[in-house]
Structure 1
Amino acid sequence: MSFRTAAMRGMRLATAMPIRNRPAMMPAAAAARSFHSTRPVFIKVGDPLPDLEVLQENNPGNKVNLAEEASKLNKMILLGVPAAFSPACSAKHIPSFINHPKLKDYDLLAVVSVNDVFVMKAWGENLDPAGQSNVSKDYDPSTPIRFFADPTGRFTKALDLAFDGSAIFGGDRSKRYTIVVEDGKVTSLNVEPDNTGTSVSLADNVLG
């Protein structure tokens, strides 16, 4: 066998041999998924509230874990609002619950907004759930109302209920929603489809 024939035969054999130890190529779709971070899951009926001690009440040092609070109660209502002192929040959403006759069946009315704690404290005092202001003159003090600040938005984002409110509010804000919690678990969830409106989240639609 000539040298040239042997060389050509060797080349054919080398080409035919399987290539070993080469890493398997990842399909494009799988590769894309591997670099895609998991999106927050929209809270749903049956879920507990986020187990986070990030909400603030009255002052920055008073951190509250609302999931723990809810686990100690029979029934509570959680209202998420886009902005403290906004007209729809102050004149419609919150009062619809404060003045509702079925509020007495609940152990707590909690209000959460992506605002600083000083604004939320002032807003709570302005709404005056003790019964001095016009907006809450029929309020039953047996059901406490508490105002919680979510200054970093972590609680709201954990619910997957934040939206980009830069055009009006200057940054991310909470969608308007109403969540009913019983024995620590969500039993109903009403979120405004346009983020800020006042329809499905009002007391008459939630409490009947």
Structure 2
Amino acid sequence: MTAGDIGAVDQVRFEQPENNRQSSTPIGQLYCTRRPMPVPCPLKRLPPPGISSSMRTFSYWLCFGLVVPAYILGLVFTLLQLAGISPPGAQLLQLFLPFGSLVPAMLAHFLPRILTLLLYVVMLALVGRRIWLYARGERVPPSYAGLSQLLGYVGTVSFIIAAIVLVLAIVLKAGSGVPAGLALLPALFCVPWAFFLTELFSFRKRTM
């Protein structure tokens, strides 16, 4: 191949077609105008559930599992006592009873008895409503957020620490249940109030 042939090849390579010479529009722009490239629409994907979502779900079901049995078993236990019947396993049932009141037992003496009874009746009605909503398929309510969620987190951490301390005391056969009881004090207050506020806020969520 001679130098003249190479020049001819280069001339053909860089030579534009006649129709492109007469147009002032660049080739790339003509391509986009005549044959527009399809632009893919971004898909909206929900973020995968993280640690915060799992913690929220776990803390709510812990509050649910501590409060609901406490009120149901507490009501059954009270009715049986009024009937003069001592149910078997009463000692085991009493483990759930501390979560069956918005006012801890150590503070109940400072409140009027009528107020304590009123809070118990209101909470019992909310527990019945939550069981009904659960039967209809509602799980973690959207109202479990903000202050109620914070109280649920504090109560969950307190309950876990108390359970660990109690298990270690049993396994090591050292100490008593006093440290576990002290670690459980925040849960006795935070767990019932987290459930109570969640149910109250759920009325506002439904009316909005």
Using structure 1 for the length normalisation, give the TM-score. 0.27
Give the structure with the higher percent strand: 1
Q: Which has the larger radius of gyration?
A: 2
Using structure 2 for the length normalisation, give the TM-score. 0.27
